[in-house]
Amino acid sequence: MLKTSEIRELVRLLDETSVHEIHIEMEDMKLHMKKADVTTYVEPLPRSEVQVVPRQTALPVAVEPSVQAMPTPIEHPSSAPVADEGITLIKSPMVGTFYSSPSPSSPAYVEIGSKVTEKTVVCIVEAMKLMNEIESDVRGEVVEILAENGHLVEYGQPLFRVKLA
């Protein structure tokens, strides 16, 4: 079971990021938080009543036991369509902040014209204070950088266009 302080920290992180919904299932509980109208609840598995906590009031609500489907990721088209044969996209595997280099004073991992292999680190996506190195999954040459350094990126958002080798 999550502690109240841990739930508060998750709410704070949800509020400070571009993530709109979190769904966590554990052996003894479910946690579902959603931005929009800021509805948050914690549901112990055997029970069908939960406490809904909007920003202004807290009201008990009966919840039908059902499995909630995870939202389908939204495909983000790149700024330029992939019309050329042999061009592929490297997409963000998560929501977070895009960084082109390991630190502000370091050079970018890759630039236009850089050669990449299947394990070349191309950028960092910071999510919940964790720096996640993103590796290319293809071999080729970077022809376009689609994300801006320090800006938020969404799950599935194209970050780079790569001409396959």
Going from N- to C-terminal start, the domains of the chain cover 4-62, 87-164
- Highest mean pLDDT, choosing among 7-21, 25-39, 57-71: 7-21
Residue-wise burial string across 4-21, b where 16 or more C-beta atoms lie within 10 A, e elsewhere: eeebeebeeebeebebee
Kindly state the average pLDDT of the residues 25-30: 76
Asked whether 70 and 77 are in contact (CB, 8 A), the reply is no
* Average pLDDT of span 17-34: 76
Give the pLDDT of residue 112.
96
pTM value is 0.51
Position 84 scores a pLDDT of 66
Provide the Cα torsion 160, 149, 17, 80; round to 10°.
-40
Percent of the chain predicted with pLDDT > 70: 68
Task: Please tell me which of 35-44, 69-78, 83-92 the model is most confident about, judged by mean pLDDT.
Answer: 83-92
Taking domain 87-164, whether its CATH number is 3.90.1150.10 is answered by no
Q: What is the pLDDT of residue 81?
A: 44
